[in-house]
């Protein structure tokens, strides 16, 4: 394993003023997004849409450090025959690939999920590396709720098996010279309050780093992609931007070792502006006892793409407007990653 190279890539992924575009929606998820804008989810439409994003010069060259691709996209060519992955490389951003294969029901744990995709992962990583991918992503999903058998979720079982899989994936990535994005997402669905999110995320991160250590993953060669500490969407008591920022940073300082080069948040269903405001506020927190030990930025899917998707709506004449909408959100989040955004 070449740790210097892994560390160099991980550090570039969280460079100040830049963040990651998560464009790795599975076929099912992109269909849902396209349904919302009245576009049929054909292979050509998916290609045209993503090509439009990757050719958005301002966003890609100034504010996007890396792009997470879905398997279909990494093998696709642009309309002029240029591989889409080359468009990303030419813009100066680093191509990455989602390698998990989604979730399955976790036996004995009603309502809970485990992420799958470890079988043959070593071979797949080798092919992705040859194609140009330099980082990967694996998402574990942890729900908070009352559960169907009255025991409450998440169970320790769900946290533990998902952390184990994340670490197995991360070790395989590093052996293949690919930087793993480790994404244990605690969902913001439900009516739980912000303190419950804090407590569950704390358990999830602690278990994840325990597994990463056990499986000898080099923390210097990875990026963490966590949720922010927020109340459930249906919680009657929503939190202020400052409270989210303060609790998220307190939690991350307690759980994430300083050896990790960077943290890049998911947006998880927050609105565009909320996701930007929260990241910005974290960088503006009063006088801290010490500076943040890791890079802290965005790895947003919906919070970067909702605006361009709406502007595009599948029409070639809207491409420039959609690229401008994407560049605007990327610029706002780039500013937020330095605490320089203003509402």
Size of the chain in residues: 343
Site size with ligand 13P, rule: CB under 6 A: 10
* Catalytic residue from among 51, 183, 185, 211: 183
User: 67: helix, coil or strand?
Assistant: strand
Q: Which residue is nearest to ligand 13P (CB)?
A: 301
Binders of ligand 13P among residues 88 to 147 (CB under 6 A) are 139
Given 140, 302, 326, 330, the residue binding ligand 13P (CB under 6 A)? 302
Question: Residue 12: CB partners within 8 Å, gap ≥ 6?
Answer: 65, 66, 94
Q: Which residues face 223 on adjacent strands?
A: 181, 262
Binders of ligand 13P among residues 157 to 186 (CB under 6 A) are 183
* Using rule CB under 6 A, residue 308 touches ligand 13P: no
Smallest gap from Cβ 19 to ligand 13P, in A, equals 11
* Using rule CB under 6 A, residue 264 touches ligand 13P: no
Binders of ligand 13P among residues 17 to 76 (CB under 6 A) are 22
Given 66, 232, 301, 308, the residue binding ligand 13P (CB under 6 A)? 301
Choices 70-78, 82-90, 125-133, 265-273; region in contact with ligand 13P by CB under 6 A: 265-273
The answer to whether the bond into 154 is cis (omega within 30° of 0) is yes
Smallest gap from Cβ 102 to ligand 13P, in A, equals 11
Q: Which helix (H) or strand (E) covers residue 8, if one does? A: helix 3-13
Choices 29-37, 191-199, 249-257, 294-302; region in contact with ligand 13P by CB under 6 A: 294-302
245 alpha carbon, distance to own chain's centre: 18
Q: Which is nearest to 184 in space by CA: 155, 157, 164?
A: 164
* Catalytic residue from among 98, 207, 225, 247: 225
> Does 225 participate in catalysis according to the annotation?
yes
Give the tokens for residue 334.
């780039």
Given 267, 309, 323, 327, the residue binding ligand 13P (CB under 6 A)? 267
Max CA-CA distance within the chain? 56
Question: Do the beta carbons of residue 95 and residue 50 sit within 8 Å?
Answer: no
Smallest gap from Cβ 13 to ligand 13P, in A, equals 13
Choices 193-201, 243-251, 254-262, 295-303; region in contact with ligand 13P by CB under 6 A: 295-303
Given 6, 217, 281, 303, the residue binding ligand 13P (CB under 6 A)? 303
Q: Which is nearest to 173 in space by CA: 225, 213, 218, 141?
A: 218
> Does 32 participate in catalysis according to the annotation?
no
Does the CA dihedral 62-67-73-77 come out positive or negative?
positive
Given 49, 300, 326, 341, the residue binding ligand 13P (CB under 6 A)? 300
* Using rule CB under 6 A, residue 263 touches ligand 13P: no
Question: Do the beta carbons of residue 2 and residue 218 sit within 8 Å?
Answer: no
CA distance 207 to 213: 10
CA distance 65 to 333: 12
Q: Which is nearest to 162 in space by CA: 123, 203, 120, 191?
A: 203
* Using rule CB under 6 A, residue 248 touches ligand 13P: no
Given 184, 268, 295, 334, the residue binding ligand 13P (CB under 6 A)? 268
CA distance 20 to 291: 22
Smallest gap from Cβ 309 to ligand 13P, in A, equals 12
Choices 29-37, 239-247, 264-272, 324-332; region in contact with ligand 13P by CB under 6 A: 264-272
Tell how strand 103-105 and strand 94-98 pair up.
unpaired
Active site (catalytic) residues: 183, 225
- The site for ligand 13P (CB under 6 A) is made up of 22, 139, 183, 266-268, 300-303
């Amino acid at each position: 394993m070449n740790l210097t190279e892994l560390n160099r890539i991980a550090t570039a992924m969280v460079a100040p003023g830049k963040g990651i575009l998560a464009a790795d929606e599975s076929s099912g998820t992109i269909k849902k997004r396209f349904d919302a804008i009245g576009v049929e989810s054909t292979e050509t439409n998916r290609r045209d849409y993503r090509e439009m994003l990757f050719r958005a010069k301002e966003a890609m060259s100034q504010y996007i450090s890396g792009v997470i691709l879905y398997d279909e996209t990494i093998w696709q060519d642009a309309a002029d025959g240029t591989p889409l992955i080359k468009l990303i490389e030419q813009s100066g951003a680093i191509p990455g690939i989602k390698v998990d294969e989604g979730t399955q029901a976790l036996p004995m744990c009603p309502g809970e999920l485990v992420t799958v995709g470890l079988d043959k992962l070593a071979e797949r990583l080798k092919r992705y590396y040859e194609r140009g991918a330099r980082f990967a992503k694996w998402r574990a999903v942890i729900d908070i709720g009352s559960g169907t058998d009255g025991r409450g979720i998440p169970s320790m079982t769900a946290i533990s098996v998902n952390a184990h899989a994340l670490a197995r994936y991360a070790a395989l990535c590093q052996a293949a010279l690919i930087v793993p994005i480790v994404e244990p997402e605690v969902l913001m669905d439900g009516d739980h309050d912000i303190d419950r999110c804090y407590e569950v995320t704390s358990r999830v991160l602690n278990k994840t780093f325990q597994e990463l250590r056990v499986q000898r993953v080099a923390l210097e060669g990875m990026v963490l992609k966590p949720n922010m500490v927020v109340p459930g969407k249906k919680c009657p008591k929503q939190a202020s931007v400052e409270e989210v920022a303060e609790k998220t940073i307190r939690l991350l300082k307690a759980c994430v070792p300083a050896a990790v080069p960077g943290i890049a948040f998911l947006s998880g269903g927050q609105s565009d502006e909320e996701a930007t405001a929260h990241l910005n506020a974290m960088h503006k927190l009063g006088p801290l006892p010490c500076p943040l030990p890791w890079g802290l930025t965005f790895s947003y899917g919906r919070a970067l793409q909702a605006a361009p998707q709406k502007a595009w709506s599948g029409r070639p004449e809207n491409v420039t407007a959609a690229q401008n909408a994407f560049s605007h959100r990327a610029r706002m989040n780039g500013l937020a990653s330095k605490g320089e955004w203003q509402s």
